[in-house]
Amino acid sequence: MERSEILLKPGQQIKPYVPNEVIQDLLLKLYNLQVISVEELNSYDDRNFHIMVKEHNCLPDTEDVCLDGYVLKITNSLDSKACNLIDAQHKMMVYLDKNGLPCPKPIKNIEGKFMSLEQLENPAKSLFLENNAFYGNHVTGKHIVRLLSFLPGNILYSVPYTKDLLLQVGELVAKTDLALMGFVHDGLKGVDRIWNLSAVPKLCDFIYVIKDDHKHELAMEVIDNFKSHVLPHLQKLKSGPIHGDFNEQNILVKPDENQPGKYVISGILDFGDVHFNYYVFEIAIAICYMMIECKTMDMLDAPGHVLAGYNRLRAIPDEEFVLLKDCISARFCQSLVLGAYSFSQNPDPYLLITSQNGWQCLKALWEYPKDELYKRWRLIIEDYNKCL
């Protein structure tokens, strides 16, 4: 498979059309499960559903029974061409779970397989032709269908961000990076996707969706800076398999049993962006999303707490540290531009979550002097180190 086959192009519609009756048919056909309830979960390009079923013992492997329900994942038309990549996602979830990082578990279908390629048809095809604006955000064709165990908990987005919780996020990212240093899978090789941070220069193909002149100019500055200040230095940086999307929706927390009113991280979700890339990208991505929803402190201090947690387990080399502002800003830009593009194709309010605070955050970060910013973050890290 050529790399370009799974690289999103402007105007390309990849999100599946999946009405409720199709969900019920797929669960019965592939897993012999009868659906009791269906709740759609947020997703950019796939369709994900939290499913509760009538009887769990219909599954071929009794170890797969999940009383909290399951997540039915209908993969977008691009990633459905990359079966080996999906297999890598499954293997990575199992690998991390065995290494003490709770993840959803892939469930075997009645044929003993973890995925199936299914033809999905739009029953209102004639209406699609008459009203492209309504059905234009969905595509029919072959899509990978799979089932995962549902991991209970609260998403990080739903709880107040404390210094301790941000510290835990940093530790989680470092634990994941360290654990994945021992993970090998051919499906991670040559993965070229528009959401990889290394694909930031390709945002120029999508930036036409940003109509505001000031925002457009800011985004172009960030993209050009990434080209000139990050890309030339990548070859000397450390790399490995990464999760690729540690955002506020993909980290689960639960109440801390020992400290009422506090939370501890309890799981990792959404492995749709796993690939082989630089560790500085992984921590920069996490920091970007922690800043966006940080209301309990100055959002420019939030990165220091995340970095302090990360640094406890994996010391951040100077050659990575000096690129942090550039990479964090690039992720902001990537999320804002691609979020706006996805919304233009599929007007789902979820796709604009980043934009609610993101442009303001990016502007504040971009305008703050780099040396002063790094000094600010290093002081926070040093304060934590003194307490060890």
Residues recognised as catalytic: 245
User: Exposed e or buried b for every residue in 22-51, given b needs 16+ CB within 10 A?
Assistant: bbeebbeebbebebeeeeebebbbbbbbeb
C-alpha 283/C-alpha 320 separation (Å) is: 10
Residue 8, amino acid: L
DSSP E strand stretches across the chain: 35-41, 47-53, 70-74, 106-107, 116-120, 141-149, 154-155, 239-242, 251-255, 263-268, 275-278
User: Which residues, other chains included, contact 61 with Cβ-Cβ below 8 Å and sequence gap of 6+?
Assistant: 107, 108
Residue with tokens 């927390």: 253
Chain CA centroid to CA 157, Å: 13
DSSP single-letter state for residue 139 = B
Do residues 220 and 365 lie in contact, with contact meaning Cβ atoms separated by under 8 Å?
no
DSSP labels, 140-188 = -EEEEEEEEE---SEEGGGS---HHHHHHHHHHHHHHHHHHTT---GGG
Tokens of 178: 């360290």
User: Which residues, other chains included, contact 224 with Cβ-Cβ below 8 Å and sequence gap of 6+?
Assistant: none
Query: What length is written for the chain?
Result: 388
Partner residues linked to 149 by β-bridges: 70
Do residues 34 and 26 lie in contact, with contact meaning Cβ atoms separated by under 8 Å?
no
Tokens of 237: 């940086």
Phi, psi of 124 (to 5 degrees): -110, 45
Do residues 343 and 225 lie in contact, with contact meaning Cβ atoms separated by under 8 Å?
no
